[in-house]
């Protein structure tokens, strides 16, 4: 990883720096033209605060850019993963903006998917790992990992799972959840998705960065860390549960 | 005595629905459709919260049995005096459609909660 990073820096010194400076602030208002300009004027201006001034400058630089793109006609080839062609360690050809942008996003997606995604739709949790124990039990192996990711207690999630699946179970020595009944990964995933909707996402801003606390008078509240909204959530209720397999005892 | 017109159709103290802001039924008014696993791949569907004063459970069960081709019973629920309909197999979708269908009970989808996987 670090090796990789170091390599990258050398590979494309100028543009890389431009990218670095721009992207954290860019978030909502990503302006490619600003970046383009920056790439070229690198030595002159580096601070990103001066957005207004830069914008004005962009107008002047735009034409220049167009001309340059024409001269850069030769097709830029090479595998950016392997570092061949234009991506080679000691390559000196200036890399086209589009190519750099592509590289930036591929790497962002592979290394920091959280940063690349916005909104609750792309909120990701590791897929539940389900193993079969014997014929009648399912082991949900990575429950504590998932709970940590959602910032919820294992007990609360377990309670919800049991209530929704209409079953019971236990926790084994290595913190895995043993659920009575046969369940597929997909099914557990569905229940977890509903849990997230009910108890994790903020209904106001859709952020998953929330906390579940026991408020006054036994009510549970979800407090959002990004917008500060607070809502009460229903306690988990098991509801009616049918008697299964007890008829024999009743008869006998 | 005049009646305050504003309060006629809307209950100002009802809980607001999270998404739409509309008032939503109290939790005890929900109809819960649940699923339970029995032995092997066999399952059981339970319908809790349906008003047995308003609907004829015997008729409903008869319809379920015939339409869904499954067996079913009415089980008394100890905590409330409402009864629970119990059907064999995963009939959650069927029951949900029956409850919301215009031809049958024509209930509001918001009052129904389908549980399970
Ligand atoms: Zn929020």
Q: Tell if the CB–CB gap between B36 and A167 is shorter than 8 Å.
A: yes
pLDDT tens figures, A202-250: 988 888 899 998 877 788 999 999 899 999 998 888 878 777 765 544 4
Per the structure, how many domains does chain B have? Answer: 1
Q: What is the per-residue DSSP string for A159-212? A: HHHHHHHT--EEE-TTSPEEEES---HHHHHHHHHHHIIIIIS-TTT--S-EEE
The span from the CA of A151 to the CA of A208, in Å, is: 9
The span from the CA of A181 to the CA of B38, in Å, is: 8
Q: Is residue B39 situated within a structural domain?
A: yes
Q: Which of A182, A189, A169, A187 is nearest to A138 (CA)?
A: A182
Q: Which of A243, A63, A47, A233 is nearest to A152 (CA)?
A: A233
Report the gap between the CA of B84 and the closest CA in chain A (Å). 8
CA atoms within 13 A on the CB side of A38: 27
pLDDT tens figures, B41-55: 789 999 998 887 888
> What pLDDT does residue A90 have?
80
Q: Looking at the partner chain, which of A136, A164, A234 has a beta carbon nearest the beta carbon of B27?
A: A234
List CB-based neighbours of ion ligand 1 within 5 Å: A 202, 204-205, 207, 224, 227, 229
Report the separation in Å between the CA atom of B12 and the middle of ligand 1, taken as the mean of its atom positions.
25
Q: Is residue B54 situated within a structural domain?
A: yes
Q: Residue A140 carries which DSSP code? A: E
Report the separation in Å between the CA atom of B93 and the middle of ligand 1, taken as the mean of its atom positions.
33
Task: Give the residues across from B36 on adjacent strands.
Answer: B44
Q: Tell if the CB–CB gap between B27 and A231 is shorter than 8 Å.
A: no
Confidence bin at A8 (pLDDT 50/70/90): very low
Q: Is residue B85 situated within a structural domain?
A: yes
Give the range among A11-25, A162-176, B48-62, B65-79 with minimum mean pLDDT: A11-25
Q: Is residue B72 situated within a structural domain?
A: yes
Q: What range defines the domain where residue B69 resides?
A: 31-115
Which of B19, B26, B30, B36 to substitute to test the interface with A, most A CBs within 10 Å? B36
Q: Is residue B38 situated within a structural domain?
A: yes
Low-confidence stretches of chain B (pLDDT beneath 50): 20-25, 27
Tell me the percentage of chain A whose pLDDT exceeds 90.
Answer: 29
Q: Is residue A51 situated within a structural domain?
A: no
Backbone angles phi, psi at A213, to 5 degrees: -130, 150
In chain B, which residue's Cα lies nearest the Cα of A202?
A: B18
Q: Find the CATH number of the domain harbouring B84.
A: 3.30.780.10
Mean pLDDT of A84-106: 83
Backbone angles phi, psi at A131, to 5 degrees: -120, 155
Q: What is the ipTM of this complex?
A: 0.74
Q: Is residue A188 situated within a structural domain?
A: yes
Q: Are A149 and A125 in contact (CB under 8 A)?
A: yes
| Stated pTM of the model | 0.60
> What pLDDT does residue B38 have?
86
Backbone angles phi, psi at A198, to 5 degrees: -80, -45
Report the gap between the CA of A186 and the closest CA in chain B (Å). 8
Q: Is residue A198 situated within a structural domain?
A: yes
Q: Does A22 touch chain B (CB under 8 A)?
A: no
The span from the CA of A104 to the CA of A36, in Å, is: 14
Q: Is residue B23 situated within a structural domain?
A: no
Q: Is residue B12 situated within a structural domain?
A: no
Q: Tell if the CB–CB gap between A241 and B39 is shorter than 8 Å.
A: no
Q: Residue A252 carries which DSSP code? A: -
Per the structure, how many domains does chain A have? Answer: 1
The span from the CA of B109 to the CA of B100, in Å, is: 6
Show the tokens assigned to A106. 């591929």
Q: Is residue A97 situated within a structural domain?
A: no
Q: Does A183 touch chain B (CB under 8 A)?
A: yes
Residues of chain B positioned with their CB less than 8 A from the CB of A231: 18
In chain B, which residue's Cα lies nearest the Cα of A162?
A: B116
CA atoms within 13 A on the CB side of B37: 22
Report the separation in Å between the CA atom of A233 and the middle of ligand 1, taken as the mean of its atom positions.
14
Question: At which residue do the structure tokens 């809980």 appear?
Answer: B15
The span from the CA of A75 to the CA of A78, in Å, is: 10
Q: What range defines the domain where residue A165 resides?
A: 130-233
Q: Find the CATH number of the domain harbouring A153.
A: 3.30.30.170
CB atoms within 10 A of CB B10: 10
Q: Tell if the CB–CB gap between A182 and B44 is shorter than 8 Å.
A: no
In chain A, which residue's Cα lies nearest the Cα of B20?
A: A203
Residues of chain B positioned with their CB less than 8 A from the CB of A167: 36-37
Residues of chain B positioned with their CB less than 8 A from the CB of A164: 115-117
Q: Looking at the partner chain, which of A184, A190, A241 has a beta carbon nearest the beta carbon of B36?
A: A241
Q: Does B38 touch chain A (CB under 8 A)?
A: yes
Q: Tell if the CB–CB gap between B77 and A240 is shorter than 8 Å.
A: yes
Instruction: Please identify among residues 59-98 of chain B the ones whose CB lies closer than 8 Å to any CB of chain A.
Output: 75, 77, 84, 86
């Amino acid at each position: 990883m670090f090796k990789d990073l170091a390599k990258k820096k050398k590979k494309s010194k100028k543009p890389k720096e431009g990218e670095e400076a721009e992207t954290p602030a860019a978030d909502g208002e990503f302006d490619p033209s600003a970046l383009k300009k920056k790439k070229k004027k690198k030595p002159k201006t580096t601070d990103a605060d001066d957005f207004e001034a830069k914008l004005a400058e962009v107008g002047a630089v735009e034409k220049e850019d167009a001309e340059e793109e024409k001269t850069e006609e030769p097709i830029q080839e090479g595998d950016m993963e392997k570092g061949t062609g234009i991506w080679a360690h000691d390559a000196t050809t200036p890399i086209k903006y589009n190519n750099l942008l592509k590289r930036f996003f591929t790497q962002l997606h592979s290394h920091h998917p959280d940063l690349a995604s916005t909104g609750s739709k792309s909120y990701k949790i590791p897929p539940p790992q389900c193993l079969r124990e014997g014929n009648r039990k399912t082991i949900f192996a990575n429950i504590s990992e998932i709970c940590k990711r959602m910032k919820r207690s294992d007990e609360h999630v377990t309670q919800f799972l049991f209530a929704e699946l209409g079953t019971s179970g236990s926790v084994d020595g290595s913190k895995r959840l043993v659920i009575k009944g046969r369940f597929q990964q997909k099914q557990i995933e569905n229940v977890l998705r509903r849990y997230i909707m009910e108890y994790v996402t903020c209904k106001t801003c859709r952020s998953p960065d929330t906390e579940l606390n026991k408020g006054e008078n036994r009510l549970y509240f979800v407090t959002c860390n990004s917008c500060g909204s607070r809502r009460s959530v229903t306690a988990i209720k098991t509801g009616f549960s049918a008697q299964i397999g007890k008829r024999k005892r009743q008869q006998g | 005595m005049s009646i305050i017109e504003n309060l006629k159709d809307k209950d100002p103290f009802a809980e607001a629905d999270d998404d739409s802001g509309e008032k939503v039924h109290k939790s005890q008014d929900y109809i819960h459709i649940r699923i339970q696993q029995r032995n092997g791949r066999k399952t059981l569907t339970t319908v809790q919260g349906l008003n047995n004063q308003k609907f004829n459970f015997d008729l409903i069960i008869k319809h379920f049995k015939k339409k869904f081709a499954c067996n079913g019973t009415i089980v008394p629920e100890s905590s409330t005096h409402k009864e629970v309909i119990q059907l064999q197999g995963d009939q959650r979708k069927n029951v949900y459609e029956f409850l919301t269908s215009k031809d049958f009970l024509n209930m509001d989808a918001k009052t129904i909660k389908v549980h399970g996987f």
